[in-house]
Amino acid sequence: MSELLRRYGPTLTGAFVLLTAFWLLMLVILPNVTLFEASFRPYLPVTEVGGPKDFYSFGNYMKFFANSTDTDIFGFNLPVPIHVKIFFGTIYFSTLVTFITFVIAYPLAFYLAKVVTPKSLPTLFLLLFVPMWVSEVLRSFAWWLILAYKGPLNAVLQGVGILDAPVRWISGYRAIIIGLVYTYVLFMVFPIYNAIQSLDTNQIEAAQDLGSPWWRTHWRVILPHAKPGIASGSVIVFMLAAGSLLVPALLGSPTSLWFTQTIQQWMLEAQDWNTGAAYAFLFLILCTCFVSLVMWLFKVQLTDIAK
């Protein structure tokens, strides 16, 4: 703060602080507080707002547990509320997406950080970034075209002889997973790239020199060093994937349901912003709990991620 004052003088510093405060208060805190407050109130016609029926309750939150359907869980037929089922589906597939992005991103990040000559690095970065200049909508739509039943992917795979018959890619969660992985893979690549890049190459060579095969060098030296990067990449990708609305909406099928779509239904289709808000907060809290649990399981500290 004093550094800021010294460098920019009181007027500019004041302006910075005011702008930041405005942004935080008006655009972040206020809307969230309003939604949070609304989430505890029932959805009422305008005339009854503020009337005797308008009191705080957990009613909106309890809707999460309504409408049980029989679901097959490990061979048992149990009644599970439909929204809970969608929630766990979203968590499960987001985790899967996170895992797949990691599997793709780690070798790529390692290649960029330790194998490529520094001269060709800018070109490769450019190639990675170019697709990001196209908007997410267009990219998802492009995938929709690629994955179509009579689309180019099936044509190519059949042409090469890998497939005998075309595959219905856009069914279940398949296309969503592909779309989400494609959309968010860079958010995994860069934290891991940064982490691996900061590893002294001599350590990799020292491991090799002591006789270590490549996989053990990765397992014992490079992966542990990259753990904070992997953790932050995973948290980002998981949260983005779970919170994505566009990709599930565009690449989803009738049998796929994403939790954000449920929130959207409450808010836009049912016009019930109160329940929508309750669902949104519930989702945020549960996702945060899930992420914290996984971080605890993998012994990752929050301070590691901030690095």
Partner 1 sequence: MSAGIELDDVCCDFGSFRAVDHVNVSIQPGEFFSFLGPSGCGKTTILRMISGFTDPSAGMIRIGGKDMKGQRPNQRPTALIFQNLALFPLMPIWENIAFGLEVRGVAKAERRAKAEELLRLVDLPDAADKMVSQLSGGQKQRVAIARALAVEPSVMLLDEPLSALDLKLRQHMRAELRAIQKRTGVTFIYITHDQGEALAMSDRVGVMSQGRLQQVANPRDIYNNPTNGFVASFVGENNIFTGTVGSEAAGFARFETPHGAFRARANVQGGRDLKLYVRPEHTLISAVPGLENSLPVTVTDVAFEGNFISVHAVSQSGATLLAELRNDGSVAIPAPGDALHMSFAAENASILPDGLVRGE
Least Cβ distance, residue 121 to partner 1 (angstroms): 18
The dihedrals phi and psi of 176, each to the nearest 5 degrees, come to: -60, -45
Secondary structure element (H or E) that encloses residue 98, with its range: helix 82-110
211 lies in the binding site for partner 1 (CB under 8 A): yes
Please identify, among the stretches 43-51, 67-75, 185-193, 200-208, the one whose residues bind partner 1 according to the rule CB under 8 A.
Answer: 200-208
Question: Whole-angstrom Cα distance, residue 290 to residue 35?
Answer: 23
Closer residue to partner 1 in complex, CB, 82/223:
223
DSSP 220-272: IIIHHHHHHHHHHHHHHHHHHHHT--HHHHHH--TT---HHHHHHIIIIIS--
Pick out residues in 212-231 that bind partner 1 (CB under 8 A): 212-213, 216, 220-221, 224-225
Q: Which one of residues 37, 48, 70, 205 is an interface residue with partner 1 (CB under 8 A)?
A: 205
Judged by phi (left if over 0) then psi (alpha if -120 to 50, else beta), residue 40 lies in: alpha
Least Cβ distance, residue 208 to partner 1 (angstroms): 5
Least Cβ distance, residue 113 to partner 1 (angstroms): 17
- CB-based contacts of 270, cutoff 8 Å, min separation 6: 276
Count Cβ atoms below 10 Å from residue 179 Cβ, excluding itself: 28
241 lies in the binding site for partner 1 (CB under 8 A): no
Secondary structure element (H or E) that encloses residue 76, with its range: strand 76-81
Q: How far is CA 116 from CA 108, 125, 233, in A?
A: 10, 11, 21
Pick out residues in 96-115 that bind partner 1 (CB under 8 A): none
Q: Which one of residues 203, 288, 292, 301 is an interface residue with partner 1 (CB under 8 A)?
A: 203
Which DSSP symbol is given to 65?
G
Least Cβ distance, residue 212 to partner 1 (angstroms): 5
Least Cβ distance, residue 123 to partner 1 (angstroms): 20
Least Cβ distance, residue 209 to partner 1 (angstroms): 5
Least Cβ distance, residue 230 to partner 1 (angstroms): 14
Please identify, among the stretches 199-207, 252-260, 262-270, 298-306, the one whose residues bind partner 1 according to the rule CB under 8 A.
Answer: 199-207
Closer residue to partner 1 in complex, CB, 53/216:
216
Secondary structure element (H or E) that encloses residue 17, with its range: helix 2-22
120 lies in the binding site for partner 1 (CB under 8 A): no
Question: Whole-angstrom Cα distance, residue 167 to residue 225?
Answer: 40
195 lies in the binding site for partner 1 (CB under 8 A): no
Q: Which one of residues 171, 194, 208, 261 is an interface residue with partner 1 (CB under 8 A)?
A: 208
Burial of 87 (0-12, 13-18, 19+ CB in 10 A): buried
Percent helix, strand and coil across the chain, each rounded to 5? Answer: 75, 5, 20
CB 147 within 8 A of CB 169: yes
The total number of residues written for the chain in this structure: 307
Closer residue to partner 1 in complex, CB, 171/208:
208
Closer residue to partner 1 in complex, CB, 46/115:
115
Closer residue to partner 1 in complex, CB, 207/282:
207
Q: Which one of residues 155, 206, 270, 293 is an interface residue with partner 1 (CB under 8 A)?
A: 206
207 lies in the binding site for partner 1 (CB under 8 A): yes
Binding site for partner 1 (CB under 8 A): 200, 202-203, 205-213, 216, 220-221, 224-225
